[in-house]
Amino acid sequence: MNNSANSNMYYHAIDRAWTLYARHLDGNRDGFICVVGNNDLSGVARNALEASMEKLGYGSRACTFIALVDASAEAGAPLSAQQLLELIELLDPAILIAADEESARALSEAFRTKIPLFDLSRIAGRATVAFSSFQGMLDSMPDKQKAWATLKRLAR
């Protein structure tokens, strides 16, 4: 592919991310929000995150989903800290959501900063929230309310 100096560098970076890390990516190719999970999130969890982001004013289908572990790989090796950092920088989202403790640890390692659970923090200028298990929190009403309260910290 030959890109001129007039081409959009943002889309060139996104193309590179989806080329290099396609097995780890799903959702909106141009997502404003990156949701990082140890494995693929269930459809219910994805729908809940998408609906929440829409209610917060980010529009429908605002999320790109990153799975740390490529389930289709033989060894199931997770992304390294360097790969995760590169992937996020290529995608350049405005918001990061760590869907579980494993992804919060991976992001903490990649960006060399501690990411607290259930609190708003900033990573490289990006609003960030992390959960112990977003998917697991959907099983009970009190946990759903705690998840929603955490996500509301990302409101525009």
**What is the spatial distance between Cα 41 and Cα 89, in angstroms, rounded to a whole number?**
22
User: Average model confidence (pLDDT) for the chain?
Assistant: 91
SS3 category, 100: strand
**For residue 44, what are the contacts with CB-CB under 8 A and spacing of at least 6?**
135, 138
Condensed to tens digits (0 to 9), the pLDDT of residues 100-112 reads 999 999 999 999 9
Could you tell me which residue, 11 or 61, shows the higher pLDDT? 61
What is the pTM (predicted TM-score) of this model?
0.91
Distance from CA of residue 97 to its chain's centroid?
5
Structure tokens at 135: 């998917």
Condensed to tens digits (0 to 9), the pLDDT of residues 37-87 reads 998 789 999 999 999 999 999 998 999 999 999 866 665 678 999 999 999
Percentage, residues of the chain above pLDDT 70? 91
Whole-angstrom CA distances from 144 to 37, 68, 151 are 18, 24, 10
- What local confidence, expressed as pLDDT, does residue 76 receive? 66
Structural domains of the chain in order of their starting residue, each with its CATH number? 9-154 (3.40.470.10)
